[in-house]
Every structure is written in structure tokens, then in C-alpha cells.
């Protein structure tokens, strides 16, 4: 599927494929079409920037889903279990 990046409907296509674009799932030709549209179209570029920012925030949050004190507890538990193992042996 291909579209004219200067048509108004290109906006819908661009927004629709933005997820795939950001995931790097598109073919080289498709990426170039969308990049071309984003360069020409302010509103779509704003949406793309927003999606990129949102992804970065979500990614950062995901890495912090386990709080440090919980990590310590888990580490202590694992340490304790390994000690029990040692006693059993
Ligand atoms: Zn657009």
C-alpha cells in the first residue's frame, strides 16, 4: 500500500502507522514516505513527537516497577533460601 504524502488522507495513514513506524516494523520505502509526510505536516509531527515521548516515559517507568525496598526483600529472601539450602546439604 502506498499513499501520496501530500494528500490530506495521508495524515490518517501516517497516524495509523505511527506505532509501526516507531517500532521500526515498516519497510524502508514506507518509513521514507512517513518521514516525508512528517517533515511536511506539523500536526502529524507533533503527534509523532508525543508518541515518542510517551514511549520513553513508559519505558523508563517499566524499569522502575520494582521498588528498591522490594528488591532488597527479594534479595534477602533469596539469600535466606540459599542459606537454608546450604544447611540442608
Ligand atoms: Zn499529516
pTM here is 0.58
Which residue in 59, 50, 51, 17 sits closest to 35, CA to CA?
17
Reading the block at residue 67, the C-alpha cell is: 521498588
pLDDT at 67 over 80: no
Residue 67 has, within 13 A of its CA and on its CB side, a CA count of 3
Q: Which of 60 and 82 is assigned the larger pLDDT?
A: 60
Separation between Cα atoms, residue 64 and residue 50, nearest integer Å: 21
What is each CA distance from 22 to 17, 26, 62, 65, in whole angstroms? 9, 9, 18, 23
What is the average per-residue pLDDT within 47-63?
86
78 CA from centroid of ligand 1 (Å) = 53
Alpha carbon of 61 to ligand 1 centroid (Å) = 30
Amino acid at each position: 500500500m502506498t499513499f501520496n504524502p501530500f494528500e490530506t488522507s495521508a495524515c490518517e495513514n501516517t497516524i495509523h502507522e505511527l506505532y509501526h513506524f516507531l517500532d521500526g516494523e515498516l519497510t524502508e520505502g514506507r518509513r521514507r514516505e512517513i518521514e516525508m509526510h512528517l517533515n511536511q505536516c506539523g500536526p502529524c509531527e507533533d503527534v509523532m513527537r508525543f508518541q515518542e515521548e510517551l514511549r520513553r516515559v513508559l519505558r523508563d517507568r517499566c524499569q522502575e516497577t520494582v521498588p528498591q525496598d522490594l528488591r532488597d526483600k527479594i534479595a534477602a529472601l533469596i539469600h535466606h533460601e540459599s542459606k537454608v539450602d546450604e544447611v540442608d546439604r
